[in-house]
Every structure is written in structure tokens, then in C-alpha cells.
Amino acid sequence: MPHSLPSSPKSTPRDGRNGITKFTNCRILKGDKLVNEDLWVNSVTGKIIRSQAAFYDDFIVPDEIINLGGRILSPGLIECQLNGAFGFNFSTLLEPAVYAKKVKELNKQMVKTGVTSYVPTITSQRSELYQRALPHLGPSGYFQVAEDGAESLGAHCEGPFLSPTKNGVHNVDVLRVAESFEDLEDCYGVSNLNTEGSFRPMPIKMITAAPERGQMTKLIPELTSRGIIYSIGHSEATYEEASTAVAAGATMITHLFNAMRPLHHRNPGIFGVLGLAESLPRPYFGIIADGEHLHPTTIKIAFNAHPDGFILVTDSMHLVGLPDGAYQWTNGESASHIVKKGNKLILEGTDRIAGSSITLIECVSNFLNWSGAGIPQALKAVTSTPAAMLGLQGVKGCLDDGADADMVVLSEGHNANGVELLVDEVWKFGTKVFSRS
């Protein structure tokens, strides 16, 4: 779809410049530590390069040396559940050119929050909306145009194959049951579930569905064989049903504890598959640390159960960056209103939480203050762990040689709640695209 193409091809530096920047006097996130090291990036290739090879073997002198004054240099943040932001919701039916324009505008705003890559999420909607919107939401970083801002890593379809008793704010009138893979194709569109005959990556990266509904668990292997992540969510699944889904290939849990059967001492439900004694691979899981969806102690319990699977997400709606008030939202067959008061969002006329309006870096700061975890552990939950969940190890979420040069410069502040991480600069493919100063 031509409307969704990046704005311009990647440019090459002129006047004898090589596009290489060296960062020095910085604390680099590497594994579970902040390490005092220099970092070299190349804006021509968009990659991180080996500094010793560049300097000693190839005798390269960087165009620019940046002294970060001891601040943190982290991989760019990865958001795995974003419904919208800055006035635009992905679950909106618009003309193709208008929709593509809105996505581009959102990308340029999102990168200012430290998010360099994200998974755009569409909630439970009519088939027409999926089939018109999804082509705009597939992976968008293959041209490496830094100025376009945050890139999509592929779309997340959160529905409509959900449990009607764990629907949250999703409209039950559009929920469906899948008995065959053709039911998925009928809903999302054949081309959005297939890469054959297209030069572009497949739009869908992840699907959230209730495994106990219809034949969904039996369809998991077909989804994963196509490179689509199956996430358990909005589900009444018992521990046994969730375990069967994991055995079939489910590798993610959507906003753990929210919109699912609660933990019970005789049936731990979906949470039980995170147990260390399980013979199955333990899935990754999303946690919304906004102070509304989960109690801080619940978040600590989840983290301690499986720290290597812990991923912070916002579940943010289009009200991010907007003032308090009531805002329209396409909710399946009808239009609803979401009421914003601070970071709290409520579906009008109910007491149901309707996503959040928090930023990902705010979630990181909240987790730091609630959990007692260190900064490296908190940053892993929005960098290397989501990258691993998405199958992008070594490309995103790290500062290793050859990885995409997506980075965020962070300073440490304090507020009434404790430690606060602040986004000072954002770099995309080795080019600075935002500076707070």
C-alpha cells in the first residue's frame, strides 16, 4: 500500500563525513549491568559498530564525539501493546491516505517518549476494520528512515476471538469463535496472514485469543508456523487449558492478571504456567504498571515468578498526551466514549478500565519504585526481553555490534514517588531524532 511507504530513502553523508558517532563517558545497558564503555554507531548503515575494529583496524575517526556526562545509554524502548496515542487510535476506520498520515504523525510523536519500536494493537472490531487497517501497520523499519520516528514491528490483533466473560471493554457483539483457520482468514484477511506474493513483511505479528474457545488451541501451530506470536489473553482458561496452549506454541500472555480467570489455590489458572517447576517453556507476559490495572505487590509477585519473561507494556489508548475529558472510541459495532482523568481511563457509564494513558518510561519508573529492582532489570523489561519475545534478539533491544542503532539517553531524577527516569535524547538508526533540551 503506497500510502504507508517511508517518507524518503536513506541518505548518505556529504563533505567527506562517514556518519559515525562515538558516545563516551556513558553507562551502557549490557545484560544485568550498566557498564562504563564507549559506543560507536553508524548512521549510514543504521547499526552499532565495533569500536576497536573501526578505530584500530580501519583507522576510522568519528564525525562526532558525544560526552554524555555519565548518563545512561539504553537501547530504544520497545512497546508491545499500544492501542494509539496523541489523538489517534489504530482501531479507527478511515480512508487509506488519511489512516497512513495519522500513523506517520503518531510515529514522530511516539519517538519523543523514548519508544523507537512498537507493536500497534487493534482491539476487537469488525472484519472490515482489520482488513483496511492492518496493511498500514506491518513492520515499517526496513527502509531505515530515522526521521520517520518510531517504527512498527508488526500489528497485534487483540481479539475478536476472546471470552465474552473476560471481554474487559471489548464489545461482546463483535466477538467470534474460530473453528478453522479459514475463520481467522475471514476475520483478518488472507493477505494479512500470508507473505506469499508480497514484497512487504506480513502485517500481523501477534494475536491475542482465548485458547479455550472453539478450536483455537488447535490453530496455534499454524499461526506460529507463519511467524505469528500467539498470546493468551481475555480468557477463562484453566491452568490445564493454558498449559495445553503453551504446549501448542503459545509464547506470550497479554496483560497478565487483567481480563483472565484469577489465581486460585486449587487452580492457578493462566498464571500457573509461569511456575518454575513447569516442564514446558515458560511464556513471556505483559504487565501494565500504571497504578490502576495492578497493585504494586501483584507486579512484584509476577516479576519474581519469571523475571526473564517480564515485559512492561502501557496498553495506552489515543488519549496519551491529551487533556482530561471524554473521547470517542470505535468499539466494534458502536462508538463509545472513554473518560480520561489523569492517567486513569474509564469506559463511560461503567467502572471498567479502558486501557491507560501512561508512557512506557513512566511504567519503568513506577516499576523501579515498586519492586526494588535495579535500573538494568527495569530497562530489560522494555528492551531485550520484548525483543526476545518478538524474535528480534541481536537486532532490537540491545547495544551489541551489528544491532540497529536505536538508543535513548536517560538521566535520573526524583519526584514524590521516588526515582524518575527522564528521556533526554532519542537516536534512531544512528541519527538523533529528539532532544529534550
pLDDT digits (tens, 9 = 90+) for 284-315: 999 999 999 999 999 999 999 999 999 999 99
For residue range 169-197, list pLDDT tens digits in order: 999 999 999 999 999 999 999 999 987 76
Mean pLDDT over 63-72 rounds to: 96
Residue 3 has pLDDT above 80, yes or no: no
- pLDDT(16) > 80: no
What was the pLDDT predicted at 332?
73
pLDDT at 2 over 50: no
C-alpha cell at 10: 536513506
Residue 391 · residue 340 · CB < 8 Å: no
List CB contacts of 43: < 8 A, sequence separation 6 or more. Answer: 13, 19, 20, 21, 146, 405, 429, 430, 431
Give the three-class secondary structure for 432.
strand
| Three cell numbers, residue 354 | 479502558
Give the sign of the dihedral formed by CA 365, CA 366, CA 367, CA 369.
positive
How much is the pLDDT for 5? Answer: 44
The β-bridge relationship of strands 20-24 and 64-67 is parallel
Residue 51 has pLDDT above 60, yes or no: yes
Pairing, β 39-42 against β 325-331: unpaired
pLDDT at residue 92 is higher than 80:
yes
Predicted local distance difference test score (pLDDT) of residue 4: 44
Please report, for residues 270, 311, 405, the alpha-carbon distance to residue 144 in angstroms, rounded to integers and kept in the order given: 38, 25, 10
Per-residue confidence band for 238, with pLDDT thresholds at 50, 70 and 90: very high
Quick one: pLDDT band at residue 54, thresholds 50, 70, 90?
low
Cα separation of the two ends of the chain: 37
Q: Which of 57, 148, 173, 315 is labelled catalytic? A: 315
Percentage of residues in the chain having pLDDT higher than 90 = 77
Is 315 one of the annotated active-site residues of the chain?
yes
Least confident of 56-70, 161-175, 199-213, 376-390: 56-70
Eight-state DSSP code of residue 283: P
Task: Quote the pLDDT of residue 230.
Answer: 98
Beta bridge partners of 45: none
CB neighbour class for 422 (10 Å; exposed up to 12, middle 13-18, buried from 19): middle
- Decide the pairing of beta strands 204-209 and 229-232: parallel
pLDDT of residue 336: 83
Burial of residue 279, with CB atoms counted within 10 A of its CB: 0-12 exposed, 13-18 middle, 19 or more buried = exposed
Across 6-15, 113-122, 163-172, 399-408, least confident range: 6-15
Q: Read off the pLDDT band of 115 (50, 70, 90).
A: very high
Residue 134 and residue 130: Cα distance in Å, rounded? 6
Using the predicted structure, report yes or no on whether residue 87 has a pLDDT greater than 80.
Answer: yes
Q: Kindly state the helix (H) or strand (E) to which residue 364 belongs, with its residue range.
A: helix 360-371
- In this prediction, residues 96-124 reach a mean pLDDT of 97
Mean pLDDT of 135-156: 96
Helix (H, G, I), strand (E, B) or coil at 27: strand
Distance in angstroms (rounded) separating the CA atoms of residues 294 and 212: 24
Residue 335's pLDDT is: 78
Q: Are 83 and 123 in contact (CB under 8 A)?
A: yes
Among the ranges given (251-265, 268-282, 410-424), the one the predictor scored with the smallest mean pLDDT: 268-282
Please tell me the pTM assigned to this model. 0.94
C-alpha to C-alpha distance for 162 and 233, rounded to whole angstroms: 7
In single-letter form, the type of residue at position 305 comes to A
- Which residues, 6 or more positions from 52, have their beta carbon under 8 angstroms from its beta carbon? none
pLDDT (0 to 100) of residue 197? 62
Say what the pLDDT of residue 50 is: 83
Give me the pLDDT at residue 437, please.
85
Task: Report the pLDDT value the prediction gives residue 6, as an integer from 0 to 100.
Answer: 47
In this structure, how many other beta carbons lie within 10 angstroms of the beta carbon of residue 296? 14
| Dihedral in degrees, nearest 10, Cα atoms 219, 229, 245, 122 | -80
pLDDT digits (tens, 9 = 90+) for 340-396: 888 889 988 888 888 899 999 999 999 999 998 999 999 999 999 999 999 999 999
| Residue-averaged pLDDT of the chain | 92
DSSP string across 376-426? HHHHHTTTHHHHHHTT-TTTSS---TTSB--EEEEEEEEETTEEEEEEEEE
Residues forming a β-bridge with 41: 21, 48
